[in-house]
Structure 1
Amino acid sequence: MKRLSTYALMLALAAAPSFAAKNSQSLNFATPVKIGANEIPAGDYKVTWNGTGDNVQVTIAENGKSFTVPAKLVEEKHNHKGYIVSREGGADQLQTIQLSNVSLQLEGATASGR
């Protein structure tokens, strides 16, 4: 029985990265965008999210700097990755991130890292 438990644990640990990859995708911001009060420069970012429905935490990270924001997850297919901004105070405020199978509707942001 102990041997079976050990194999089950090894299988679960080996499969963990593939499960985590489902909630993580890369996204390129062509221009600077604001997330809450923080402006991030144009570039390639890793977008990771945890949770479901109205209770999701989205983290946008690049080079050790990250921004976390609450969001609502909507399952819907998109032909391409993208994002929606609103123009506020002369800056593009990030509103929604559209990935291959989900949209993440952002609510506000906090920064961490550098």
Structure 2
Amino acid sequence: MKYILGFALLSVLISVPSMAVEAFQTFYLATAVRAGKIELPRGICEMTWKTVAGSQVKLTIKMEDERTVTVPARMVEGMQHETGVVTSVVNGITYLDEFHTKNAKFIIRNKVHGSK
């Protein structure tokens, strides 16, 4: 009985890392954008995320030049029909508003939108 229990426990421990979901997505930015006060150049970027509390996450964005930035965001889980980015232009500056992945969207916390 001990051996069966030990084997079952070992099987579970080995399978746990393989069940973990990879939390990253690759995107192409067609133009240079800002995420808050951080400037992101045009090109391919890889985004990873880590939950801070509840729906609050920290997005880490790695650009083609290997530079990495971290921005706060809110994650809304649920199937998305399309993956990609949502941007807006305010006073001639293009801001990154959202990242859409297959299973969630990430709303960037751009504090500058509401200020005058």
TM range (shorter): 0.7 to 0.9
Give the share of equivalent positions with the same residue, in percent: 25
TM-score, normalised to structure 2, is: 0.72
1:61 aligns with 2:59: no
Letter in structure 2 aligned against 1:91: I
Letter in structure 1 aligned against 2:104: V
Task: Provide the aligned length of Structure 1 versus Structure 2.
Answer: 105
Q: Which residue in the other structure is 1:101 paired with?
A: 103
Gaps of 5+ in 2: 112-116
- Per mean C-alpha deviation after superposition, the further-off stretch among 77-86 and 41-50 is 77-86
Residue 8 (structure 1) shift: 5.9
Q: Deviations over 1:44-89 (max 9, x none)?
A: 1111111164321111112321121111110122232121122123
Gaps of 5+ in 1: 110-114
In the TM superposition, structure 1's runs of 4+ consecutive aligned residues that sit over 3 Å from their partners are 3-13
Q: Which residue of 73, 87, 97 corresponds with 1:71?
A: 73
Contact 1:69–1:108 (8 Å) recurs in 2: no
> For 1:101 and 1:8, how far apart are their aligned partners in 2?
26
Residue 7 (structure 1) shift: 6.7
Q: Which residue in the other structure is 1:91 paired with?
A: 93
> For 1:86 and 1:77, how far apart are their aligned partners in 2?
23
Q: Which residue in the other structure is 2:44 paired with?
A: 44
Q: Deviations over 1:1-52 (max 9, x none)?
A: 8x86777655545x2xx6251x111111111111111221111111111116
TM-score, normalised to structure 1, is: 0.73
Bigger Rg over Cα: 2
Secondary structure of residue in 2 paired with 1:77: coil
